[in-house]
């Protein structure tokens, strides 16, 4: 399906220069006696790079054929993350740490994720927004130590470090927002 420049709204996936892009922001701009322009902020789904681009009425794009599939995380070794298709443990695939970014430190074995597949290649992995983790290491809360806003740094399963309120102790389970890396609540 062909897309005109006015179809480039937030969340639309399209092909430009052979790569898939996602529209993050759009702004329609019309200056006096000039042609209308759509200012966009777009993300290359292959590299993760974010670009600012302007498009005019003469620009047309092909809609990106991106398939979403569920997968299960198996394990991580030396910056390589192994997954298998949901329901098919034999169909395994590998994702590098560069593609996962900071989300990788929140992956636990058997975590269900959603992958985006373009031309039979996984280009993006979305992990659940909120996940529960057990606190492995937590320094004791010292009475009166609230000068830093009443938080301390703990280590959760998987080795990630998270700032939490002083009342969280070792062995407890907490919920983390995996997109921001912030503590949400004690479970």
Please provide the average confidence, as pLDDT, over all residues in the chain.
Answer: 89
Q: What local confidence, expressed as pLDDT, does residue 143 receive?
A: 67
Task: Choose the final residue of a domain: 75, 107, 126.
Answer: 126
Are 40 and 84 in the same domain?
no
Least confident of 73-82, 138-147, 150-159: 138-147
Domain coverage including residue 71:
67-126
Q: What local confidence, expressed as pLDDT, does residue 122 receive?
A: 87
- At 35, list the tokens: 């042609």
Q: What local confidence, expressed as pLDDT, does residue 32 receive?
A: 76
CATH number of the domain within which 165 lies: 2.40.50.140
Are 71 and 47 in the same domain?
no
User: Which of 20 and 124 is assigned the larger pLDDT?
Assistant: 20
> What is the pTM assigned to this prediction?
0.73
Are 73 and 119 in the same domain?
yes
Closest Cα partner for 44 from 65, 18, 67? 18
For residue 14, the 8-state DSSP code is E
Q: What local confidence, expressed as pLDDT, does residue 159 receive?
A: 87
Element spanning 99, H or E: helix 97-100
Phi-psi region of 144 (alpha: psi -120 to 50; beta: other; left: phi over 0): left
Closest Cα partner for 113 from 67, 158, 73? 73
CA contacts within 13 A on the Cβ side of 174: 31
Say how many domains are in the chain: 3
Whether 31 shows a pLDDT value over 80: the answer reads no
CATH number of the domain within which 29 lies: 2.30.30.30
Whether 145 shows a pLDDT value over 60: the answer reads no
Task: Choose the final residue of a domain: 26, 44, 63.
Answer: 63
Tens of pLDDT, residue by residue over 41-53, are 998 888 778 999 9
Mean pLDDT, residues 64-90 taken together: 92
Are 139 and 179 in the same domain?
yes
């Amino acid at each position: 399906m062909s897309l005109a420049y006015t179809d480039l709204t937030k969340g639309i996936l399209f092909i430009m220069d052979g790569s898939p892009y996602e529209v993050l922001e759009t702004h329609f701009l019309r200056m006096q006696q000039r042609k209308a322009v759509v200012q966009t902020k777009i993300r290359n789904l292959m590299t993760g790079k974010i670009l600012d681009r302007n498009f005019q009425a003469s620009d047309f794009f092909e809609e990106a054929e991106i398939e979403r599939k569920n997968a299960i995380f198996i394990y991580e070794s030396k910056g390589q993350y192994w997954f298998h298709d949901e329901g098919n443990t034999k169909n395994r695939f590998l994702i590098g740490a560069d593609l996962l970014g900071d989300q990788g430190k929140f992956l636990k074995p058997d975590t269900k994720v959603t992958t985006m597949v373009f031309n039979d290649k996984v280009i993006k992995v979305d992990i659940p927004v909120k996940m529960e983790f057990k606190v492995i290491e937590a320094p004791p809360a010292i009475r009166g130590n609230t000068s830093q806003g009443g938080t301390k740094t703990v280590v959760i399963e998987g080795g990630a470090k998270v700032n939490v309120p002083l009342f969280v102790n070792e062995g407890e389970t907490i919920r983390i927002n995996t997109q921001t890396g912030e503590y949400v609540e004690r479970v």
